[in-house]
Structure 1
């Protein structure tokens, strides 16, 4: 599972980014609000990604930050909003503005978002009110209870679409249990057991 790609920006277009990683050029769908935060053509950039794999195609979506990607995942939880619709929504409104509209129950503001009808706006309000962060740095400032040695597992699970807060809680609890039950377990075995157990817990 990809978490991010790092390379040279070779093209920036509306909702589209071209990124060269050592001779492989990736064609990535990126919300305009996130695209604006990515360095200019010719400069180095790191893009957080998520791949949609269907029977007919594979599509790569990219974001300037993990917070933007989490917003994308949250929008996809709303009935009637798919990946491409989420990109259109994110291209039309900043996360802070969307969070403010949701928290205040401002349906009229949501309905002004291109392609978002009244019914979907109501569903979005019910599903996401109070759940979007207003502060880009909130996640980085929050102290994680997960040991640093398991940070990669948190990132991998978060990139699969699980909510980061729930991932951290699960990894923290399960790692503590595993370490208590078998403190001499090799690190690789510990990581594999932790990853499997966390997926089961988060999928409940």
Structure 2
């Protein structure tokens, strides 16, 4: 499992929210949140990302984070019933990290529902599952 990548940014694609990082001559395509993408340096610059390696029957996907705390929240979101990596990365991209943690701790369901892809039931489930864990 890959836990950390440090290398040169080769591709930075805002449309797909992916970054390709060259580490020792190997390009790793990493999905990131919109918030993390904003902190990624320009192509050709050095980049460091915390990584979650997501393995399914048909795919191995890398998800990247600007901090270990952001990755930890992603993992907690994956533990919420019916929340997969796509929704978890959407939640992380919906608000700046500090504001998101405050929103989750305070149970602000309305803010979560404004995140694209997160409806009322998903927002309720996230808040219920993470209550008292942040």
**Correspondent of 1:30 among 12, 15, 32:** 32
Asked if structure 1 preserves the Cα contact closer than 8 Å seen for 2:3 and 2:53, the reply is no
Instruction: State how far apart, in whole Å, the 2-side matches of 1:57 and 1:76 are.
Output: 17
Query: 1:16: which partner in 2?
Result: 18
The structural deviation recorded for 1:131 is 3.1
1:175-204 CA-to-partner distances (Å, cap 9, x unmatched) read: xxxxxxxxxxxxxxxxxxxxxxxxxxxxxx
Asked if structure 2 preserves the Cα contact closer than 8 Å seen for 1:5 and 1:46, the reply is yes
The structural deviation recorded for 1:16 is 0.4
Tell me whether 1:101 sits opposite 2:103 in the alignment.
yes
Instruction: Give the 5 Å matches for 1:1-204.
Output: 1-14=1-14, 15-132=17-134
Instruction: State how far apart, in whole Å, the 1-side matches of 2:105 and 2:70 are.
Output: 18
Backbone CA RMSD of aligned residues: 1.4
Instruction: State how far apart, in whole Å, the 1-side matches of 2:115 and 2:65 are.
Output: 20
Q: Quick check: which one's strand share is greater? A: 2
The structural deviation recorded for 1:130 is 4.1
Greater relative contact order structure (CA < 8 Å, 6+ sep): 2
Secondary structure in structure 2 of the residue aligned to 1:70: helix
Asked if structure 1 preserves the Cα contact closer than 8 Å seen for 2:2 and 2:51, the reply is yes
Give unmatched runs, 5+ long, in structure 1. 133-204
Asked if structure 2 preserves the Cα contact closer than 8 Å seen for 1:102 and 1:130, the reply is no
Q: TM-score, normalised by structure 1?
A: 0.61
The structural deviation recorded for 1:22 is 1.7
Larger radius of gyration: 1
Instruction: State how far apart, in whole Å, the 2-side matches of 1:130 and 1:113 are.
Output: 22
Q: Quick check: which one's helix share is greater? A: 1
